[in-house]
Amino acid sequence: MTKKIAVLPGDGIGPEIVAEAIRVLEFLNADMGLDLSFENGLIGGAGYDAHSTPLPEQTLSLCKQADAVLLGAVGGPKWEPLEHAVRPERGLLGIRSELQLFSNLRPAILYPQLADASTLKPDVVSGLDLMIVRELTGGIYFGQPRGVRALKNGEKQGFNTLVYSESEIRRIAHSAFLTAQKRNKKVCSVDKANVLECTELWREVMDEVAKGYPDVMLSHMYVDNAAMQLVRAPKQFDVMVTTNMFGDILSDTAAMLTGSIGMLPSASLDEQGKGMYEPIHGSAPDIAGKNLANPLATILSVAMMLRYTFGEAIAADRIEKAVDTALDTGVRTSDIHSEGMQKVSTAQMGDAVINALKG
Ligand code: NAD
Protein backbone atom coordinates (compact mmCIF):
# COMPACT_ATOMS: atom_id res chain seq x y z
CA MET A 1 0.00 0.00 0.00
CA THR A 2 1.26 3.49 -0.83
CA LYS A 3 2.85 5.24 2.13
CA LYS A 4 1.74 8.86 2.03
CA ILE A 5 4.16 11.48 3.32
CA ALA A 6 3.08 15.08 3.87
CA VAL A 7 6.10 17.31 3.31
CA LEU A 8 6.15 20.67 5.08
CA PRO A 9 9.43 22.48 4.33
CA GLY A 10 8.45 25.59 6.32
CA ASP A 11 10.75 28.61 6.56
CA GLY A 12 14.41 29.65 6.57
CA ILE A 13 16.69 26.68 5.89
CA GLY A 14 13.63 24.36 5.98
CA PRO A 15 13.23 24.06 2.17
CA GLU A 16 16.97 23.44 1.63
CA ILE A 17 17.35 20.67 4.21
CA VAL A 18 14.03 19.02 3.37
CA ALA A 19 15.03 18.90 -0.32
CA GLU A 20 18.08 16.78 0.59
CA ALA A 21 16.04 14.43 2.79
CA ILE A 22 13.54 13.95 -0.05
CA ARG A 23 16.38 13.16 -2.48
CA VAL A 24 17.51 10.42 -0.06
CA LEU A 25 13.97 9.02 0.22
CA GLU A 26 13.48 9.15 -3.56
CA PHE A 27 16.71 7.25 -4.06
CA LEU A 28 15.63 4.49 -1.63
CA ASN A 29 12.11 4.50 -3.03
CA ALA A 30 13.49 3.62 -6.46
CA ASP A 31 16.18 1.28 -5.11
CA MET A 32 14.01 -0.72 -2.68
CA GLY A 33 10.46 -0.28 -4.01
CA LEU A 34 9.25 1.35 -0.78
CA ASP A 35 6.08 2.73 -2.42
CA LEU A 36 6.40 6.20 -0.92
CA SER A 37 4.42 9.18 -2.20
CA PHE A 38 5.01 12.83 -1.36
CA GLU A 39 2.73 15.87 -1.20
CA ASN A 40 3.86 19.34 -0.14
CA GLY A 41 2.05 21.73 2.21
CA LEU A 42 2.67 25.17 3.66
CA ILE A 43 3.29 25.78 7.35
CA GLY A 44 4.67 28.54 9.56
CA GLY A 45 5.61 31.84 7.95
CA ALA A 46 5.11 30.34 4.49
CA GLY A 47 1.56 29.35 5.50
CA TYR A 48 0.91 32.79 6.90
CA ASP A 49 2.16 34.57 3.76
CA ALA A 50 -0.12 32.53 1.50
CA HIS A 51 -3.22 32.09 3.70
CA SER A 52 -2.86 34.50 6.67
CA THR A 53 -2.50 31.55 9.07
CA PRO A 54 0.55 29.47 10.09
CA LEU A 55 -1.51 26.28 9.84
CA PRO A 56 -3.74 26.51 6.74
CA GLU A 57 -6.77 24.21 6.57
CA GLN A 58 -5.34 22.46 3.47
CA THR A 59 -2.12 21.65 5.34
CA LEU A 60 -3.98 20.21 8.30
CA SER A 61 -6.14 17.98 6.14
CA LEU A 62 -3.08 16.90 4.10
CA CYS A 63 -1.36 15.86 7.36
CA LYS A 64 -4.44 14.08 8.69
CA GLN A 65 -4.68 12.02 5.52
CA ALA A 66 -0.96 11.25 5.39
CA ASP A 67 0.74 8.31 7.14
CA ALA A 68 3.68 10.49 8.21
CA VAL A 69 4.70 14.14 8.17
CA LEU A 70 8.16 15.51 7.39
CA LEU A 71 8.74 19.01 8.72
CA GLY A 72 11.71 21.33 8.07
CA ALA A 73 11.54 24.26 10.47
CA VAL A 74 9.40 27.34 11.02
CA GLY A 75 9.92 30.96 11.99
CA GLY A 76 12.16 33.90 11.27
CA PRO A 77 12.54 37.64 11.86
CA LYS A 78 10.09 38.51 9.09
CA TRP A 79 7.19 37.14 11.16
CA GLU A 80 8.32 38.24 14.63
CA PRO A 81 6.21 41.44 14.62
CA LEU A 82 3.01 39.35 14.13
CA GLU A 83 0.65 38.80 17.04
CA HIS A 84 1.18 35.52 18.92
CA ALA A 85 -1.89 33.75 17.55
CA VAL A 86 -0.55 33.80 13.97
CA ARG A 87 3.19 33.41 14.64
CA PRO A 88 4.86 30.57 12.68
CA GLU A 89 5.57 28.57 15.88
CA ARG A 90 1.80 28.38 16.50
CA GLY A 91 1.53 26.28 13.36
CA LEU A 92 3.85 23.75 14.90
CA LEU A 93 2.05 23.58 18.25
CA GLY A 94 -1.26 23.40 16.39
CA ILE A 95 -0.26 20.43 14.30
CA ARG A 96 1.21 18.55 17.28
CA SER A 97 -2.03 18.86 19.22
CA GLU A 98 -4.35 18.29 16.20
CA LEU A 99 -2.53 15.05 15.40
CA GLN A 100 -2.33 14.07 19.12
CA LEU A 101 1.38 13.40 18.98
CA PHE A 102 1.86 12.41 22.62
CA SER A 103 5.16 10.55 22.34
CA ASN A 104 8.27 12.56 21.56
CA LEU A 105 11.34 10.54 20.61
CA ARG A 106 14.60 12.45 20.75
CA PRO A 107 17.74 10.47 20.11
CA ALA A 108 21.12 11.80 21.12
CA ILE A 109 23.65 10.20 18.84
CA LEU A 110 27.28 11.16 18.69
CA TYR A 111 29.16 9.92 15.69
CA PRO A 112 32.71 9.05 16.76
CA GLN A 113 33.97 11.24 13.89
CA LEU A 114 32.42 14.28 15.66
CA ALA A 115 33.51 13.51 19.22
CA ASP A 116 35.50 16.76 19.32
CA ALA A 117 32.27 18.76 18.91
CA SER A 118 31.10 17.83 22.43
CA THR A 119 32.04 19.79 25.52
CA LEU A 120 32.51 16.47 27.33
CA LYS A 121 35.62 14.29 27.09
CA PRO A 122 35.62 12.19 23.90
CA ASP A 123 35.79 8.87 25.81
CA VAL A 124 32.63 9.81 27.79
CA VAL A 125 30.52 10.58 24.71
CA SER A 126 32.13 8.89 21.71
CA GLY A 127 29.64 6.42 20.26
CA LEU A 128 26.79 7.77 22.43
CA ASP A 129 23.39 6.52 21.20
CA LEU A 130 20.53 7.10 23.59
CA MET A 131 16.83 7.79 23.06
CA ILE A 132 14.70 10.01 25.26
CA VAL A 133 10.99 9.25 25.11
CA ARG A 134 9.19 12.30 26.45
CA GLU A 135 5.46 12.47 27.20
CA LEU A 136 4.35 15.46 25.13
CA THR A 137 0.68 16.24 25.68
CA GLY A 138 0.12 15.89 29.45
CA GLY A 139 1.69 16.58 32.84
CA ILE A 140 2.34 19.92 34.46
CA TYR A 141 2.40 21.85 31.17
CA PHE A 142 -1.29 21.09 30.63
CA GLY A 143 -2.68 20.26 34.11
CA GLN A 144 -5.57 22.24 35.58
CA PRO A 145 -6.00 24.28 37.71
CA ARG A 146 -3.23 26.68 36.81
CA GLY A 147 -2.66 30.40 37.07
CA VAL A 148 -1.72 33.23 39.40
CA ARG A 149 -4.15 34.14 42.19
CA ALA A 150 -4.35 36.81 44.89
CA LEU A 151 -4.12 35.58 48.47
CA LYS A 152 -6.02 37.16 51.38
CA ASN A 153 -2.80 38.75 52.67
CA GLY A 154 -2.48 40.61 49.33
CA GLU A 155 0.38 38.45 48.11
CA LYS A 156 0.16 36.81 44.69
CA GLN A 157 0.56 33.04 44.33
CA GLY A 158 1.42 31.12 41.17
CA PHE A 159 0.31 27.51 40.79
CA ASN A 160 0.38 24.62 38.30
CA THR A 161 -0.85 21.07 38.56
CA LEU A 162 1.13 17.93 37.83
CA VAL A 163 -1.42 15.36 36.73
CA TYR A 164 -1.16 12.03 34.89
CA SER A 165 -3.90 9.46 34.48
CA GLU A 166 -3.05 5.75 34.30
CA SER A 167 -3.98 5.64 30.62
CA GLU A 168 -1.64 8.53 29.78
CA ILE A 169 1.23 6.80 31.59
CA ARG A 170 0.39 3.44 30.07
CA ARG A 171 0.50 4.70 26.47
CA ILE A 172 3.87 6.46 26.86
CA ALA A 173 5.18 3.34 28.62
CA HIS A 174 4.15 1.18 25.64
CA SER A 175 5.82 3.69 23.34
CA ALA A 176 9.08 3.41 25.32
CA PHE A 177 9.05 -0.39 25.49
CA LEU A 178 8.27 -0.73 21.78
CA THR A 179 11.11 1.70 21.03
CA ALA A 180 13.49 -0.29 23.24
CA GLN A 181 12.54 -3.51 21.44
CA LYS A 182 13.89 -1.94 18.25
CA ARG A 183 17.13 -0.98 20.07
CA ASN A 184 19.12 -2.47 22.97
CA LYS A 185 16.09 -3.52 25.03
CA LYS A 186 16.70 -1.38 28.11
CA VAL A 187 14.29 1.24 29.49
CA CYS A 188 15.14 3.64 32.31
CA SER A 189 12.03 5.38 33.65
CA VAL A 190 12.80 8.74 35.22
CA ASP A 191 10.55 10.16 37.96
CA LYS A 192 10.55 11.84 41.35
CA ALA A 193 8.56 9.12 43.11
CA ASN A 194 10.21 9.90 46.47
CA VAL A 195 8.50 13.30 46.56
CA LEU A 196 5.66 13.45 43.99
CA GLU A 197 2.66 11.12 44.34
CA CYS A 198 1.85 11.61 40.67
CA THR A 199 5.16 10.05 39.70
CA GLU A 200 4.70 7.29 42.29
CA LEU A 201 1.75 6.26 40.13
CA TRP A 202 3.99 6.73 37.06
CA ARG A 203 6.43 4.18 38.53
CA GLU A 204 3.64 1.71 39.40
CA VAL A 205 2.20 1.82 35.87
CA MET A 206 5.67 1.46 34.30
CA ASP A 207 6.20 -1.72 36.38
CA GLU A 208 2.80 -3.05 35.32
CA VAL A 209 3.36 -2.36 31.59
CA ALA A 210 6.87 -3.87 31.78
CA LYS A 211 5.32 -7.29 32.50
CA GLY A 212 4.11 -7.37 28.88
CA TYR A 213 7.68 -6.87 27.59
CA PRO A 214 9.76 -9.61 29.24
CA ASP A 215 12.55 -9.09 26.69
CA VAL A 216 13.07 -5.47 27.86
CA MET A 217 14.86 -4.60 31.10
CA LEU A 218 13.22 -1.80 33.11
CA SER A 219 15.01 0.31 35.70
CA HIS A 220 13.92 3.44 37.59
CA MET A 221 15.89 6.57 38.41
CA TYR A 222 15.07 9.80 40.22
CA VAL A 223 15.30 12.81 37.95
CA ASP A 224 18.07 14.55 39.93
CA ASN A 225 20.26 11.46 39.65
CA ALA A 226 19.35 11.09 35.95
CA ALA A 227 20.55 14.64 35.25
CA MET A 228 23.82 13.81 36.96
CA GLN A 229 24.24 10.43 35.22
CA LEU A 230 23.56 11.99 31.81
CA VAL A 231 26.68 14.11 32.05
CA ARG A 232 28.72 11.59 34.11
CA ALA A 233 28.22 8.40 32.10
CA PRO A 234 25.58 8.86 29.37
CA LYS A 235 26.45 5.63 27.57
CA GLN A 236 24.78 3.60 30.37
CA PHE A 237 21.36 4.53 28.89
CA ASP A 238 19.48 3.00 25.96
CA VAL A 239 15.91 4.37 26.22
CA MET A 240 14.96 6.90 28.88
CA VAL A 241 11.22 7.53 29.37
CA THR A 242 9.90 10.44 31.38
CA THR A 243 7.26 13.10 31.94
CA ASN A 244 6.70 16.17 29.82
CA MET A 245 8.67 18.62 31.96
CA PHE A 246 11.51 16.28 33.00
CA GLY A 247 11.81 15.23 29.34
CA ASP A 248 11.93 18.83 28.19
CA ILE A 249 14.94 19.47 30.39
CA LEU A 250 16.76 16.15 30.08
CA SER A 251 16.42 15.96 26.29
CA ASP A 252 18.13 19.33 25.88
CA THR A 253 20.95 18.16 28.13
CA ALA A 254 21.25 14.94 26.12
CA ALA A 255 21.20 16.84 22.83
CA MET A 256 24.01 19.11 23.94
CA LEU A 257 26.18 16.12 24.89
CA THR A 258 26.62 15.70 21.16
CA GLY A 259 27.47 19.36 20.64
CA SER A 260 26.10 19.52 17.11
CA ILE A 261 22.61 20.92 16.60
CA GLY A 262 22.61 20.15 12.86
CA MET A 263 22.86 16.39 13.50
CA LEU A 264 19.88 15.58 15.72
CA PRO A 265 16.53 14.25 14.43
CA SER A 266 13.24 13.77 16.31
CA ALA A 267 9.91 12.02 16.02
CA SER A 268 6.55 12.77 17.61
CA LEU A 269 4.13 9.84 17.45
CA ASP A 270 0.42 9.23 18.02
CA GLU A 271 -1.17 6.03 19.37
CA GLN A 272 -1.20 4.36 15.96
CA GLY A 273 2.48 5.09 15.31
CA LYS A 274 1.72 7.85 12.83
CA GLY A 275 4.32 10.52 13.32
CA MET A 276 5.77 13.88 12.55
CA TYR A 277 9.51 13.86 11.92
CA GLU A 278 11.73 16.92 12.14
CA PRO A 279 15.24 18.07 13.00
CA ILE A 280 15.50 19.51 16.51
CA HIS A 281 17.02 22.77 15.30
CA GLY A 282 15.13 25.84 14.09
CA SER A 283 14.98 27.70 10.78
CA ALA A 284 18.48 29.26 11.14
CA PRO A 285 17.61 32.58 9.43
CA ASP A 286 21.29 33.63 9.62
CA ILE A 287 22.29 31.03 7.01
CA ALA A 288 18.99 30.54 5.13
CA GLY A 289 19.18 30.46 1.31
CA LYS A 290 22.98 30.16 1.33
CA ASN A 291 23.33 26.41 0.78
CA LEU A 292 25.26 26.22 4.07
CA ALA A 293 22.88 24.34 6.39
CA ASN A 294 23.62 20.84 7.58
CA PRO A 295 20.90 18.54 6.17
CA LEU A 296 21.92 15.48 8.24
CA ALA A 297 19.41 16.02 11.10
CA THR A 298 16.61 16.04 8.52
CA ILE A 299 18.05 13.05 6.66
CA LEU A 300 18.27 11.17 9.98
CA SER A 301 14.66 12.21 10.69
CA VAL A 302 13.48 10.36 7.59
CA ALA A 303 15.44 7.32 8.78
CA MET A 304 13.35 7.50 11.97
CA MET A 305 10.21 7.81 9.84
CA LEU A 306 11.08 4.63 7.96
CA ARG A 307 11.83 2.79 11.21
CA TYR A 308 9.00 3.96 13.46
CA THR A 309 6.03 4.65 11.19
CA PHE A 310 6.72 2.38 8.22
CA GLY A 311 8.57 -0.52 9.89
CA GLU A 312 11.27 -0.35 7.18
CA ALA A 313 14.23 -1.08 9.45
CA ILE A 314 16.57 -2.09 6.63
CA ALA A 315 16.02 1.19 4.76
CA ALA A 316 16.46 3.13 8.04
CA ASP A 317 19.70 1.29 8.79
CA ARG A 318 20.94 2.07 5.30
CA ILE A 319 20.41 5.82 5.79
CA GLU A 320 22.09 5.85 9.20
CA LYS A 321 25.03 3.86 7.86
CA ALA A 322 25.29 6.17 4.81
CA VAL A 323 25.52 9.22 7.10
CA ASP A 324 28.30 7.48 8.98
CA THR A 325 30.12 6.66 5.74
CA ALA A 326 29.70 10.22 4.44
CA LEU A 327 31.28 11.56 7.64
CA ASP A 328 34.11 9.02 7.27
CA THR A 329 34.97 10.57 3.91
CA GLY A 330 35.74 13.83 5.75
CA VAL A 331 32.95 16.04 4.35
CA ARG A 332 31.60 18.58 6.87
CA THR A 333 29.10 21.43 6.67
CA SER A 334 30.33 24.53 8.48
CA ASP A 335 28.50 23.79 11.79
CA ILE A 336 30.51 20.56 12.27
CA HIS A 337 33.66 21.59 10.42
CA SER A 338 37.07 21.15 12.01
CA GLU A 339 40.62 21.50 10.78
CA GLY A 340 41.67 19.10 8.04
CA MET A 341 38.11 18.30 6.99
CA GLN A 342 36.51 19.22 3.66
CA LYS A 343 33.95 22.03 3.99
CA VAL A 344 30.86 21.29 1.89
CA SER A 345 27.49 22.85 1.07
CA THR A 346 24.02 21.53 1.96
CA ALA A 347 23.62 19.93 -1.47
CA GLN A 348 27.13 18.43 -1.43
CA MET A 349 26.40 16.79 1.93
CA GLY A 350 23.22 15.35 0.37
CA ASP A 351 25.36 14.07 -2.53
CA ALA A 352 27.80 12.44 -0.09
CA VAL A 353 24.96 10.54 1.63
CA ILE A 354 23.46 9.42 -1.69
CA ASN A 355 26.89 8.30 -2.94
CA ALA A 356 27.30 6.28 0.26
CA LEU A 357 23.85 4.72 -0.30
CA LYS A 358 24.89 3.74 -3.82
CA GLY A 359 27.81 1.97 -2.11
P1 NAD B 1 18.15 27.78 15.32
O2 NAD B 1 18.20 26.36 15.71
O3 NAD B 1 17.38 28.12 14.10
O4 NAD B 1 19.65 28.34 15.13
C5 NAD B 1 20.61 28.37 16.18
C6 NAD B 1 22.03 28.39 15.57
O7 NAD B 1 22.32 27.10 15.02
C8 NAD B 1 22.18 29.38 14.40
O9 NAD B 1 23.47 29.92 14.45
C10 NAD B 1 22.03 28.53 13.17
O11 NAD B 1 22.72 29.02 12.05
C12 NAD B 1 22.60 27.20 13.64
N13 NAD B 1 21.93 26.06 12.98
C14 NAD B 1 20.69 25.58 13.21
N15 NAD B 1 20.42 24.57 12.40
C16 NAD B 1 21.50 24.40 11.63
C17 NAD B 1 21.82 23.49 10.58
N18 NAD B 1 20.98 22.54 10.15
N19 NAD B 1 23.01 23.61 9.99
C20 NAD B 1 23.91 24.55 10.40
N21 NAD B 1 23.68 25.42 11.37
C22 NAD B 1 22.47 25.35 11.99
O23 NAD B 1 17.57 28.56 16.59
P24 NAD B 1 17.20 30.12 16.76
O25 NAD B 1 18.20 30.95 16.04
O26 NAD B 1 16.98 30.28 18.20
O27 NAD B 1 15.80 30.29 16.04
C28 NAD B 1 15.60 30.75 14.72
C29 NAD B 1 14.13 30.63 14.34
O30 NAD B 1 13.76 29.25 14.36
C31 NAD B 1 13.20 31.34 15.32
O32 NAD B 1 12.16 31.93 14.59
C33 NAD B 1 12.66 30.21 16.18
O34 NAD B 1 11.40 30.47 16.71
C35 NAD B 1 12.60 29.09 15.18
N36 NAD B 1 12.64 27.73 15.77
C37 NAD B 1 11.89 26.80 15.12
C38 NAD B 1 11.95 25.48 15.56
C39 NAD B 1 11.17 24.46 14.77
O40 NAD B 1 10.71 24.77 13.70
N41 NAD B 1 11.03 23.26 15.28
C42 NAD B 1 12.74 25.12 16.64
C43 NAD B 1 13.53 26.11 17.25
C44 NAD B 1 13.47 27.42 16.80
The pLDDT tens digits of the residues spanning 169-227 come to 999 999 999 999 989 999 999 999 999 999 999 999 999 999 999 999 999 999 999 99
The parent domain of residue 39 ranges over 1-104+261-359
Ligand 1 in contact with 96 (CB < 6 A)?
no
Q: What is the mean pLDDT of the chain?
A: 95
Does the residue 232 lie in any domain? no
Ligand 1 in contact with 76 (CB < 6 A)?
yes
Ligand 1 in contact with 74 (CB < 6 A)?
yes
- Centre of ligand 1 to C-alpha 86, Å, is 19
Establish whether 277 is a catalytic residue: no
Establish whether 207 is a catalytic residue: no
> In the sheet that 265-269 helps form, which strands lie side by side, from edge to edge?
36-40, 3-10, 68-73, 275-279, 265-269, 103-109, 129-135, 239-242, 186-191, 217-222
- Residue 209: how many CA atoms within 13 Å on its side-chain side? 24
CATH number at 13 reads: 3.40.718.10
- Centre of ligand 1 to C-alpha 77, Å, is 12
Does the residue 197 lie in any domain? no
Establish whether 121 is a catalytic residue: no
Does the residue 33 lie in any domain? yes
Closest residue by CA, ligand 1 atom 37:
282
Does the residue 53 lie in any domain? yes
The rounded Cα 20 to chain-centroid distance in angstroms is 18
Closest residue by CA, ligand 1 atom 38:
282
Establish whether 351 is a catalytic residue: no
Rounded to the nearest 5 percent, the helix, strand and coil shares of the chain are 50, 20, 30
Distance in angstroms (rounded) separating the CA atoms of residues 329 and 118: 20
Whether 134 shows a pLDDT value over 80: the answer reads: yes
The atom number, within ligand 1, closest to the CA of 298 reads 18
Does the residue 345 lie in any domain? yes
Ligand 1 in contact with 283 (CB < 6 A)?
yes
Whether 353 shows a pLDDT value over 90: the answer reads: yes
Does the residue 169 lie in any domain? no
The atom number, within ligand 1, closest to the CA of 72 reads 40
Does the residue 191 lie in any domain? no
Using one digit for the tens of pLDDT, what is the confidence trace for 10-42?
Answer: 999 999 999 999 999 999 999 999 999 999 999
Report how many domains make up the chain: 1
Does the residue 56 lie in any domain? yes
The closest of 116, 102, 10 to 55, measured between CA atoms, is: 10
Using one digit for the tens of pLDDT, what is the confidence trace for 79-98?
Answer: 999 998 899 999 988 898 89
